[in-house]
Amino acid sequence: MRNYLSLSRAEDLKDPKDRALYRSLEILPGFLSWLTLGGAFLLSWLSPITVAVFIILFDFYWLLKISYLSFHQISSFNRMQKNLKTDWLQKISKIKGWEQIYHLVILPFYNEEREIVEGSCQALLNCRYPKDKMIIVLASEERAGKETQEMVREIEQKFSSNFFKFLVTTHPKDLPNEMAGKGSNTAWAIKQVKEKIIEPLKIKEDNIIVSTFDIDTKPYPQYFSCLTYNYLTVENAKYCSYQPIPIYNNNIWTAPAFSRVIATSGTFWQMMQQERPEILVTYSSHSTPLAVLNEVGYPKTVVSDDSRIFWKAYLFYDGNYKVVPLHYPISMDAVLAENLPRTIINQYKQQRRWAWGCNDIPFLFFGFFKNKKISLSRKMSYSFNVLDGFWSWSTASFLIFFLGWLPLILGGDKFNISLLSYNLPRFTTDLMRISMIGMIISSIISLLILPPKPKKFSKFKNLSIILQWLFLPITLIIFGGIPSLDAQSRLMFKKYLGFWVTEKVRKDT
């Protein structure tokens, strides 16, 4: 029985023992994070020497981690640059049968402006892949209202003749057994396109790759050719998802500094993850064989559908499923609203929604308990990496920027006159200075991946792109640690989040 693959929360389980187990797993990530921070505070008072030693060890660990990740960041960037220069359409033209591959692109959206939706359709039209092998689905929401429906029909009329098929779907509101959001809309769109296009035309599902894109996604020109090449050459292609690198360049020049830092940090994290495919998980916009979505079922009751579809497939196929890194970019929007206060609020809400991916921890761990076919070593590896990722997200910024001073403040006179007390702040400061090499590397790469600067901006704008990294410590705390703790605490106390749509604004450049 695989009923656990459709779980979204503990209340979905009827068996009291299973429900209690799942509930304890929901509490786990928040409990570990608060235990770490609370324990650090308490022990700084009761046993400052213990905390001082922990600080030194943690700083060493963080220095090694930054060095390790920076190496992967540079390697991933170089591979991405190489892939951007590759003629992927020419490469796939040498593979027999490549013409049979169709790309089904699903663009779920709610009430985004016409410029956003139309811009993504135009980017698809600009891609170097035969348009007679592309099926575009604009997946709208009934709850968005009549004006949105009228806009969609106008966009359909403008673009439909350029692709093999161009379908508009309208996701009904208040359907049972689903959460309003991107996941349920995508699941409905897949169902509609199968009934209206794929089955009537008898297109083989093994020849269809589904790209589920956020509505602001603009693929680079050879994305689908690169994707096709990987699909046709990777071993066991059906049992793989395919992950591009998200680069938030659509509005990067008009976004405020803190938003640029957060967006670029997200890009760099995905670059690093592409170098570690053994722990790579689908994120945001990604591509999956239609056969997988038909067998597994696209998740429609969770907020983090982009990662949940991978975990569902991983458990469904008993661990014989992976993500193939494409090392090829797609462009998306950094958070930007009509004014600065609203941008700050929206940025926080977006980070909290992403941090709500901690909800995958109980789902995955419970699935590991139920699935006996996945090896213990693989379970342990994924469990550690997922738990460590969310634990670091919620605690690392506090441990780095605050913990080093707690023993000095709370440790008392006896500790403060010790040699360890005298050297602790100097030692940690020196380690953090060395760790700045990671920030320097990031600032350089951030300049190299920028799109051309609009004419309205002066040459000093480039300088601001470098200086923006001075905001990193405060952004890590306000838009990293705090929203992550917020999400984990909500999961602890059953204050479950619904799907929040990030407002998307394009200002004139």
Q: Residue 435: which pLDDT band, with cuts at 50, 70 and 90?
A: low
Q: Indicate whether 434 pLDDT > 80.
A: no
The mean pLDDT value for 88-99 works out to 95
What CA–CA distance (Å, rounded) separates 197 from 165?
8
Nearest Cα neighbor of 26 from 36, 39, 12 is 12
The mean pLDDT value for 87-103 works out to 95
Q: Residue 310: which pLDDT band, with cuts at 50, 70 and 90?
A: very high
Q: What is the pLDDT of residue 470?
A: 78
Residue pLDDT, tens place only, 260-305: 999 988 899 899 999 999 889 999 999 999 999 999 999 999 999 9
Q: What is the pLDDT of residue 217?
A: 96
Q: What is the pLDDT of residue 318?
A: 95
Q: Mean pLDDT across the chain, nearest whole number?
A: 90
Return the minimum-mean-pLDDT range out of 47-51, 129-133, 497-501. Answer: 47-51
Q: Indicate whether 432 pLDDT > 80.
A: no
The mean pLDDT value for 336-343 works out to 92
Q: What is the pLDDT of residue 421?
A: 66
Residue pLDDT, tens place only, 117-175: 999 999 999 999 999 999 999 999 999 888 888 999 999 999 999 999 999 999 999 89
Q: Residue 457: which pLDDT band, with cuts at 50, 70 and 90?
A: confident
- As given in the structure block, the two tokens for residue 10 are 């503990």
Return the minimum-mean-pLDDT range out of 200-214, 309-323, 464-478. Answer: 464-478
Q: Indicate whether 222 pLDDT > 90.
A: yes
Q: What is the pLDDT of residue 321?
A: 97
For the chain, percent of residues with pLDDT exceeding 70: 93
Domain 90-338, what architecture? Alpha-Beta Complex (3.90)
Delimit the domains of the chain by residue range. 90-338
Q: Residue 462: which pLDDT band, with cuts at 50, 70 and 90?
A: confident
* pTM (2 d.p.): 0.92
> Which own/partner pairs from 108-111 qualify as long-range (CB within 8 Å, at least 24 positions apart)?
108/139, 108/171, 108/182, 108/185, 108/186, 108/189, 108/212, 108/214, 108/215, 109/138, 109/139, 109/140, 109/141, 109/215, 110/141, 110/143, 110/144, 110/148, 110/501, 111/141, 111/144, 111/145, 111/148, 111/501
Q: What is the pLDDT of residue 65?
A: 81
HEC per residue, 302-345: CCCHHHHHHHHHHHHCCCCCEEEEEEEEEECCCCECCCHHHHHH
CA distances for 426 relative to 56, 108, 409, 472, angstroms:
11, 51, 15, 21
Q: What is the pLDDT of residue 472?
A: 81
Return the minimum-mean-pLDDT range out of 33-47, 143-157, 439-453, 489-503. Answer: 439-453
Q: Residue 200: which pLDDT band, with cuts at 50, 70 and 90?
A: very high
